[in-house]
Amino acid sequence: MQYLPSKKFIIILSSVFGVILLVFIIGSLIGRKERAVNLQIENEIAVNQEKLSDLVSKDSDGDGVPDWEEALWGTDPYKKDTSGDGIPDNIEIENKKKDLRESGVELSAPDVDISQLNETERFSREFFTTFMALRESGNLSPEAIANLSVSLAKTISDPKEEIDFFALKDLQINTDPAYTPKAYALAVKTAASKFAGQKLGSEMEILAKGITEESEAAMAELSSIGESYGKLALELKSVPVPPELSEDHLVLVNSALGMSKTVQNLSQVLVNPLGAMPSLSEYAIFNTRFIEIADKIDELLK
């Protein structure tokens, strides 16, 4: 049996299994406690920025097997000999592939001209060939899928559009000594309170629901939340800020703006799931930055 017989099939499978991977990644993002948008949100996400091009070839242990493939085969991407039995992982994986071929499972797609595929499609071909072969043979474990989703969440960061961020000159700097850091913090909270009830902070739950139920209504709601983050960014930009807090405030404003763009991109996940994955990673980055500054602002009120 042959897998991925055509470019069209690659795109279809990318969409189907892209959704599956997104569900796992989103699950890791919403598996934490969150508070409302009164700038008291908790989040412990660490995302490493790398380009999508690194995903295909990244090989942490240098054994010739990409990290994403090691995750599927159940080997440690940071050890050349995971089992410690003297047989390198690349040899063990080749042996497993040989066994699958002998059992009738096809691990290649000879009728696809790789040179005609772009980078994402080539990765899709390699990934989904392995994915489906393991599933067909009964060797695809939930742990393997979970490991892969973590790997993808950490490595994919390829923004689809430039974000027009603000600069320090765009902020309202208040040099009046009477305008204290605490007064600033209260002003920020007042600005943020205008968005109470608009479900800011619940976007990951809504995204997961939209994917699992294929709900266009949920995606529309997600798009609305993205727009609200943009309005929040503008509202925060208008808050006067003491000079010594201006850089942190700029991060806060631009993080809200970044979440606006990425959440709106994620609202298109049912149309282009694979393309939405970079936005998910970017969202996590902006969300983390926003929360770090929000925590500092909370401290100013104590």
**What are the sequence ranges of the domains in the chain?**
7-31+50-155, 168-300
pLDDT for res 143:
57
Neighbours of 299 (CB within 10 A): 10
How many Å apart are CA 61 and CA 67, to the nearest integer?
8
How many Å apart are CA 97 and CA 100, to the nearest integer?
5
Q: Which neighbouring-strand residues pair with 241?
A: 173
Distance (Å) of CA 33 to CA 113, 142, 150: 47, 24, 19
Q: What is the pLDDT along the chain (302 residues), one digit of tens a residue?
A: 222 323 333 343 344 445 545 554 454 444 433 433 444 333 322 333 334 445 556 788 899 887 767 766 778 878 899 889 999 999 988 888 787 777 765 555 444 454 555 554 455 555 555 655 555 566 655 555 545 545 554 444 444 445 779 999 999 999 999 999 999 999 999 999 999 888 898 888 888 778 777 789 999 999 999 999 999 999 999 999 999 999 999 999 999 999 999 999 889 887 776 667 667 768 878 888 898 899 899 999 88
Neighbours of 226 (CB within 10 A): 21
pLDDT for res 1:
24
> What tokens does 41 get?
């949100």
How many Å apart are CA 98 and CA 69, to the nearest integer?
16
pLDDT for res 163:
73
Residue 50's contacts (CB-CB under 8 Å, 6 or more residues apart) are 58, 155, 156, 157
Is the CB of residue 241 less than 8 Å from the CB of residue 150? no
pLDDT for res 157:
42
pLDDT for res 286:
87
